[in-house]
């Protein structure tokens, strides 16, 4: 049952007709694993903790960076360089001392995913990359765990519930991943700070509905949200019988093309000066990024690359760069198909690292 402190803390739930004592008991008995304690994970964790979910697991091998604080509101400047899962758990304990918080200060991988998932009833995915999304989805199918999915991109977000009582999965919507590095993440193009708070809160809402059995879940539906217009669209999709999952992929980075995108030659930021003396620079960032700060050379945004190959075809040696090295890696894959005689080298940690030397 509930202690006097718990009754007071959960009072607004206990007097809510659709939740009440029975629903709150379900929340207390639930075991939920949250993948990632970043932009989406922070609000998910805060609201599930506040709601009284009895056991919450937090998986994240990343550390807090100063750039995270614009949107990851669990952290402060004092937490920089500390593991996110551990910092989040310590802070959440002050919000609700009546629950159990388990930390996994590591990244979810093919080697640990099935073991970790086995201890939980539901999974909430707050990851920010395609290899992890496919891995989490496939592991949920294999372990028969419902999955609350969320993603963000600049000003837009998506939410859905996958693998619930035989419903569709992430692969029903996206059978194959996009071309490697063709979809930049927030470190490349930015994200509105409040957006992950909105989408993460919606994920927490779906998780609470799933646990308590109230409302209508986003099953076989994808909610699309635009923060600039506040427009929402609810897109229905069907379970794809061909999207069957019988085992985990051998290599999810290879499956998503990440490994392939790194097979070309690359250099670190600290090596760049030596190469810049004899190589031409090709900057594939946006116009705004280039105007803010650049190291010269040829500027062709990634999305315009194939239409402006003539500006590059006269070169023999080029260092290709962007903010973080991901878009430049994608650019080289395209360029090598059209200009095999040019020697392309990727600035793998990007201009952000170069400017910070």
Mean pLDDT for the stretch of residues 270-292: 92
Q: What is the pLDDT of residues 108-140, one digit of tens each?
A: 999 999 999 999 999 999 999 999 999 999 999
Task: Write down the H helix ranges in the chain.
Answer: 4-9, 11-14, 20-29, 41-51, 84-95, 113-117, 130-143, 170-173, 186-189, 195-212, 252-255, 272-276, 287-292, 326-338, 350-355
Q: What is the pLDDT of residue 261?
A: 47
Per-residue confidence band for 190, with pLDDT thresholds at 50, 70 and 90 = confident
pLDDT > 90? residue 207? yes
Asked whether the predicted pLDDT for residue 282 surpasses 90, the reply is yes
pTM, rounded to two decimals: 0.81
- Cα 228 from Cα 303, distance rounded (Å): 23
């Amino acid at each position: 049952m509930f202690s006097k402190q718990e009754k007071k803390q959960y009072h607004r739930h206990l007097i809510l007709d659709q939740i009440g004592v029975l629903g709150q008991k379900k929340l207390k008995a639930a075991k939920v694993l949250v993948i990632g304690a970043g932009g989406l994970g922070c609000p998910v964790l805060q609201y599930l903790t506040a709601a009284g979910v009895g056991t919450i697991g937090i998986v994240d091998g990343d550390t807090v960076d100063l750039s995270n604080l614009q949107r990851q509101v669990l952290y402060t400047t004092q937490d920089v360089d500390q593991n996110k899962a551990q910092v989040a758990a310590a802070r959440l304990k002050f919000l609700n001392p009546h629950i159990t918080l388990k930390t996994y200060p590591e990244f979810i991988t093919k080697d640990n995913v099935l073991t970790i998932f086995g201890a939980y009833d539901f999974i909430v995915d707050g990851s920010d990359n395609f290899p992890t999304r496919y891995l989490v989805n496939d592991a949920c199918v294999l372990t028969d765990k419902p999955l609350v999915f969320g993603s963000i991109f600049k000003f837009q977000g998506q939410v859905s519930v996958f693998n619930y009582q035989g419903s569709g999965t992430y692969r029903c919507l996206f059978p194959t991943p996009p071309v490697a590095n063709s979809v930049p993440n927030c470190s490349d193009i930015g994200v509105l700070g409040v957006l992950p708070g909105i989408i993460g809160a919606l994920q927490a809402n779906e998780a609470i509905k799933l646990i308590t059995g109230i409302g209508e879940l986003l099953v076989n539906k994808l909610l699309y949200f635009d923060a600039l217009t506040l427009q929402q669209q609810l897109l229905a999709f069907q379970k794809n019988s061909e999207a069957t999952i019988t085992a985990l992929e051998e290599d999810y980075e290879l499956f998503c093309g990440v490994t392939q995108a790194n097979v070309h030659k690359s250099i670190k930021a600290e090596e760049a000066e030596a190469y810049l003396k004899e190589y031409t620079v090709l900057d594939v960032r946006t116009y705004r990024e280039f105007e803010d700060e650049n190291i010269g050379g040829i500027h062709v945004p990634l999305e315009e690359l194939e239409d402006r190959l003539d500006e590059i075809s006269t070169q023999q040696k080029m260092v290709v760069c962007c903010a973080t090295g991901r878009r430049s890696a994608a650019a080289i894959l395209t360029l090598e198909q059209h200009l095999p005689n040019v020697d392309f080298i990727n600035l793998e940690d990007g201009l952000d690292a170069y400017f910070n030397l």
